[in-house]
Homo-oligomer: A and B are copies of this chain.
Amino acid sequence: MTHDELENGSVLNLDFTKLRKVANCDADVLPAIAQDAKTGEVLIVGYANQLALDTALECGMATFWSTSRNELWIKGKTSGDYLKIEEIRVNCEQNSILYKVTPAGKGACHTKNKDGVARSGCYYRRITGEGALEFTDPAQV
């Protein structure tokens, strides 16, 4: 499946091996969710190690550890489209974090709609009753 089919298509093709790959990266990481503090939209799920969390606390921008590139990833730092941290939540068992953020730029997703505008978040498709994918909002297509 091409990147375009994966990201814009209607065929459900989940990568269930994701967390095995994540666990094979160079760092110890836990899930880090970024949520728009105002709208409640879940924007993106990434992974954070201690360095990513420390960096987020220090610079006030949602920060992840890129498990594919094995490097620190201050989301949007270069482009200016960063996610300003309002607060960082921790779950009951202290094995995941939740960044409550205000997007400083446009979309938090790396994909774009047909007009070339970055999508606000990554969860722009739902699973249909037939097991296919469809866009939740025509503006996101």
Contact = CB atoms under 8 A, between A and B. Distances in A.
A110 B57 CA distance: 28
Interface residues of A, number: 56
Count of identical protomers in the assembly: 2
Contact of A14 (B15, B23, B95, B136): B95
Interface in A77-91: 87-91
Given A39-B40, A95-B15, A87 B126 contact: yes
Given A23-B23, A40-B40, A92 B15 contact: no
A106 interface: no
6 closest A-B pairs by beta carbon, nearest first, are A40-B40, A23-B23, A89-B123, A18-B95, A91-B122, A16-B28
